[in-house]
Structure 1
Amino acid sequence: MATPLTADRLLKALRDEGLTVIEHRNWRTNNRNHKGPWGPTHGVMIHHTVTSGTANSVELCYNGHSALPGPLCHGVIAKDGTVHLVGNGRTNHAGLGDGNVLRAVVAEAEHLPADNEANTDGNRHFYGFECVNLGDGKDPWPAEQLLAIERAAAALCRAHGWSERSVIGHLEWQPGKIDPRGFTMNSMRARIADRLEDKAPAKPPVTPPPATSTGTYTVKRGDTLTSIAAAHKTTPDELAKLNKLGDPDKLAVGQKLKVPAKTQPAPPTKPSAAKHEPYPGAAFFLNGSQPAIGKKSPIFTAMGKRLVAVGCGRYTVGPGPQLGKADVNSYEAWQRKCGYTGTAAKWPPGKTTWDKLQVPKS
């Protein structure tokens, strides 16, 4: 049980976890509090939108539709991992669900009961994140989006002192629901648990300073302040301030807006590959099709130390130069942290995750 976060605390928690967050229109006062109480909060619920495209999905979740008034969640997680805040307070995302599931979430039980009843108001007790996906089992879940789901849920768990067991999917709450479809909630909870083990949240992205020079943009039909801001690498708030807009939701076709001028990109820096161990290939880590347990190399020591540094160490002793089961478990935790699930997260290391780990030359 927890008191809901204020808008400022919600925003800070997400950004402190390393997320890029866009504040959509009047999200701070966009809620359904007139229809019932908001809180106490008990957990986080994950959904998919059954839509495509960020702008359309964000507007739908902000406004809702004739059969289900908005807001339809607290935040929309785009394919690129950006979180768009659209509501603060009670939102229309969870609906009626199983009271036994709620009790299990409150108790942070290891296993959830089957959701076979719809007798409890979930809109009162759960934060909701809608993730842009068609939900047809074919629409992909990019690694950036899965990482953002992990971070957003962990941010709220961290803020309230919850474990990963306070995070559920809509399909685990309300009979007949299938969302989110395309990854399992057990795998997502495992990722969140790994992240919460690392007590220090990720360093938030640096907010660029306000533009010192500007260009001009002419508003076209269908434009919103959010879409214009995204196209010019800025935020709706900055554009509103730059143009002294009284009502940022009212734009006229043909209206001239000041926008940050394009700057010359910095010259590329030379890669520092010499400082890091190059990917030795999958065969280096295998004995046939199995992990090469017992193989010795200083690379394994350097790899293990990096896995500990990024919060994925699963060692009781070591790491050391001889490959062991703890190395395998630690690297699979790292691959899950990088957004991979199922067999894609299993041993051996892949080149993408190896390069991202930046193992020092041994």
Structure 2
Amino acid sequence: MARPLPANTFLAALRAEGVTVVEVGDWRDHNRNRMGSWGPVHGVMIHHTVTSGSARTVAICRTGYSGLPGPLCHGVITKDGRVHLVGYGRANHAGAGDPDVLRAVIAETKPPVDDQASTDGNRHFYGFECENLGDGEDPWPAAQVEAIVRAGAAVCRAHGWGARSLLRHLDWQPGKVDPRGLDWNDVLARVTERLKHPASWSPGGGSTYTVRAGDTLWSIAASKLGDGTRWREIASLNKLQDADDIAVGQRLKLPAK
């Protein structure tokens, strides 16, 4: 049984894990606590949003919509790999789910097939919504998947949980399919590996790149990692406050492909 992390501890855990965090408004105090308790917490639930466009997605997750007030999660993971914190406390993200699944999460075992909806998930889980159309065709960029892995690992590490404390919305609530198209076995394997190392660890075994004239973080990510959007991972790994602040001859650490 675990109490939710203090908001500043949650934020620090994400940053320590190398997550690029965007703080949205008064996220620390934006919640649904008046509707019920938050905690004890037992795990981290991952969703897809069925939206496109980062700004629109973040706004919806913060304010909600008719019939479902926000916040709809604690963090929004956009396709560029940033985690936007939109609320903290009870959030409208999990809904009622299967108590057998909750017991499996607590025991850190593979969850059974969910066939009940009688337990309040909004009380017991952290929630991350991921920008994706949820049609099985919308891609999951590498930067976004890495952010899911790091965010999930950060919360698990802070609580002393293992990777099986992560679950999908589809594991919890009958009829749900999210996060559709995400390779969940890969996510769990990567979180498991991360938790074997310090929070500052990045896969890749110390691979580096020496900056040349004309380089940008985007061009380096595109040429060395195969995806320009992963420039944020390079910035985070090298603790760069300004993405444009690189110099010829500078040696940068690179994450794994």
The question of a shared fold, defined as TM-score above 0.5 by the shorter chain, is answered with yes
Contact 2:168–2:178 (CA<8 Å) still a contact in 1? yes
- SS of residue matched to 1:62: helix
The residue identity in structure 2 corresponding to 1:148 is: A
Contact 1:16–1:203 (CA<8 Å) still a contact in 2? no
Aligned position for 1:120: 119
Contact 2:50–2:131 (CA<8 Å) still a contact in 1? yes
Residues 113, 270 of structure 1: alpha-carbon distance in 2 compared, 3 angstrom cutoff: same
Greater RCO between the two (CA within 8 Å, min separation 6)? 2
The residue identity in structure 2 corresponding to 1:5 is: L
For residues 39 and 126 of structure 1, the distance between their equivalents in structure 2, rounded to whole angstroms, comes to 8
- SS of residue matched to 1:71: coil
Larger radius of gyration: 1
Aligned position for 1:103: 103
The residue identity in structure 1 corresponding to 2:183 is: T
Alignment of 1:234-249 (within 5 A): none
In the alignment, which of 199, 202, 213 is matched to residue 200 of structure 2?
202
Task: Tell me the alpha carbon deviations over residues 235-273 of structure 1, each in whole angstroms, 9 at most, x when there is no partner.
Answer: xxxxxxxxxxxxxxxxxxxxxxxxxxxx9x56751587x
Task: Tell me the alpha carbon deviations over residues 14-34 of structure 1, each in whole angstroms, 9 at most, x when there is no partner.
Answer: 001011111101111110001
For residues 134 and 122 of structure 2, the distance between their equivalents in structure 1, rounded to whole angstroms, comes to 22
Task: Tell me the alpha carbon deviations over residues 41-99 of structure 1, each in whole angstroms, 9 at most, x when there is no partner.
Answer: 00000000100111111110000001211000000001111110001000000000000
Aligned position for 1:269: 248
The residue identity in structure 2 corresponding to 1:33 is: N
- SS of residue matched to 1:269: coil
| Structural RMSD (CA) | 2.1
For residues 67 and 94 of structure 2, the distance between their equivalents in structure 1, rounded to whole angstroms, comes to 15
How far residue 112 of structure 1 moved from its aligned partner, in angstroms, is 1.2
- SS of residue matched to 2:22: strand
For structure 2, the 5+ residue unaligned runs are: 203-241
The residue identity in structure 1 corresponding to 2:67 is: A
The residue identity in structure 2 corresponding to 1:162 is: W
The residue identity in structure 2 corresponding to 1:11 is: L
Moved >3 Å (runs of 4+): 265-268
Aligned position for 1:26: 26
For residues 11 and 199 of structure 2, the distance between their equivalents in structure 1, rounded to whole angstroms, comes to 14
For residues 202 and 147 of structure 1, the distance between their equivalents in structure 2, rounded to whole angstroms, comes to 14
For residues 32 and 181 of structure 1, the distance between their equivalents in structure 2, rounded to whole angstroms, comes to 27
Tell me how many residue pairs correspond in the alignment: 216
- SS of residue matched to 1:124: helix
Residues 146, 98 of structure 1: alpha-carbon distance in 2 compared, 3 angstrom cutoff: same
Aligned position for 1:217: none
Contact 1:33–1:89 (CA<8 Å) still a contact in 2? yes
Contact 2:194–2:201 (CA<8 Å) still a contact in 1? no
Identical-residue share of aligned pairs (%):
60
